[in-house]
Amino acid sequence: MSFTTADLMKHNNQDHIHDTIHFQVGDKIWLDGKNIKTTRPKAKLAN
């Protein structure tokens, strides 16, 4: 069986592809607040 370079690249690069996760309204998730801006002086006090 003969593979082209494009076939080999496609096969090797699909390892990191996963199914899409679908969320519904009301689902509880973890949120990374690293890029969330608040008006509080410290992120810890933004609650």
What's the pLDDT tens digit per position in 6-28?
888 877 777 777 778 889 999 99
**Distance, CA of 13 to CA of 7 (rounded, Å):** 10
| Interacting residues of 43 by C-beta distance below 8 A, sequence separation 6+ | 33, 36
Residue with tokens 């973890």, as numbered in its chain: 30
Mean pLDDT for all residues in the chain: 80
